[in-house]
Structure 1
Amino acid sequence: MDRIEWHDLPAATRAAVERLTGPVEMAETAPHGVMSRLACTVHTRVGRAFVKGTRQEDSQAWVYRHEAQVTRCAPLAPRVLWEVDAGGWLLYGYEYVDGRHPDLTPGSADLAPLVRTLTVMSETPWPEANLKKPLHTRWADFLPEGVPPGLQAEDSPTRTCPRTTCW
């Protein structure tokens, strides 16, 4: 996916963000990731925020809305700070978390905290709204060509989760 730089966003989009954050003094494009048309860290007088999003007409715009909705209930996730829908763009600002990719090599000190995090996430009851579209359907557009048919089968089991009140 072609990534856009902060300063290349429409002026109306940047202005809408800055009404919430104050003037953006500097923006750093995220060096990794393949999903977001825009992914950057903005620096303002009051701190940093991670910003991601895409054009409103992008067929994957629903993913950003869904992610922000789920993140509001997810334990251990950066908080959603704001949403901007302006200038033809849909952007979300997230709490900035200074970090790095975990070291997954055998014996790494990162493995135990990663397992704890995945355990907490797997034990979290998710709202039924997230189950309306089965996982294999939600992610089908992201799978590469030639994925084994069993991973995309319409009869794949879906997980049933209890209702929560976080919506």
Structure 2
Amino acid sequence: MNRIEWQNLPSAARIAVERHTGPAQAAEAPPHGVMSRLACTVSTSTGRAFVKGTRRDDPQAWVYRHEANVTRIAPCAPKVLWEADAGGWLLYGYEYVHGRHPDLTPGSRDLVQLVRTLSVLTEAPWPETLHKKPLHSRWTEFLSEDVPSGLQGRGLAHTDTSPHNMLITPAGELLLLIVPFQSVATRPLT
């Protein structure tokens, strides 16, 4: 996906963001990730916010709304702070999270926290207002007739558990960053 830098956003879009954040002193794109037209940490005199967005006329613009709506109710995820629609762009502000990406290699101590976090997540109900088909319904053509019970349900699941989509805070909390969520069975992982 072609990324746009903060300074290349239309001025109306930058102004709309700055109504929420205050004047931007710097904006830095993350070193990983390629799925957003805009993704950056905006630094101001009062703090930082992670800003993500796309052009309003982008066929995938609905994904950004969907992510924000699910993230608003998801435990173990950064808070959605605001949304803005200006200058032809849909932009979402998320809580800035300081941390490191987890080590997901076999035997890593971070795996225990990952299992805990994913278990807490599956206890949250899927927001029915999103009207999205459950995972097992969307994947029927790829699954056998005996759909695994773990795919049937209406709990939340994080569906892109790459280390770059998670952060471990200095306090040891593992947060799932803004990526697709799906519905699955509501039972803890073991």
Give the TM-score of the pair, scaled to structure 2: 0.72
Change (3 A) 1:4 1:83: same
> Hey, what's the Cα distance between the residues in 2 that align with 1:12 and 1:130?
29
Q: 1:68, 1:80 within 8 Å by CA — same for their partners in 2?
A: yes
> Given the alignment, which residue of 122, 125, 150 partners 2:142?
150
**CA shift for structure 1 position 123:** 1.6
Identical counterparts, % of pairs:
70
Find the counterpart in structure 2 of residue 49 from structure 1: 49
Q: CA RMSD in A?
A: 2.4
5+ residue gaps, structure 2? 156-190
Find the counterpart in structure 1 of residue 20 from structure 2: 20
**Superposed counterparts of 1:1-167, under 5 Å:** 1-135=1-135, 150=142, 159-161=152-154
**CA shift for structure 1 position 31:** 1.4
Find the counterpart in structure 1 of residue 174 from structure 2: none
Q: Deviations over 1:32-69 (max 9, x none)?
A: 11211100000001100000010001111101101111
Larger RCO of the pair (alpha carbons < 8 Å, separation 6+): 2
Q: 2:6, 2:40 within 8 Å by CA — same for their partners in 1?
A: yes
> Hey, what's the Cα distance between the residues in 1 that align with 2:63 and 2:136?
14
Q: 2:4, 2:38 within 8 Å by CA — same for their partners in 1?
A: yes
**CA shift for structure 1 position 134:** 3.9
Letter paired with 2:142: G
Q: Once superposed, which parts of structure 1, at least 4 consecutive aligned residues long, lie more than 6 Å away?
A: none
**CA shift for structure 1 position 161:** 2.9
Change (3 A) 1:50 1:159: same
Change (3 A) 1:119 1:131: farther
**CA shift for structure 1 position 81:** 0.6
What is the aligned residue count? Answer: 151
More strand by share: 2
Change (3 A) 1:44 1:118: same
**CA shift for structure 1 position 72:** 1.0
**CA shift for structure 1 position 132:** 3.3
Q: 2:56, 2:89 within 8 Å by CA — same for their partners in 1?
A: yes
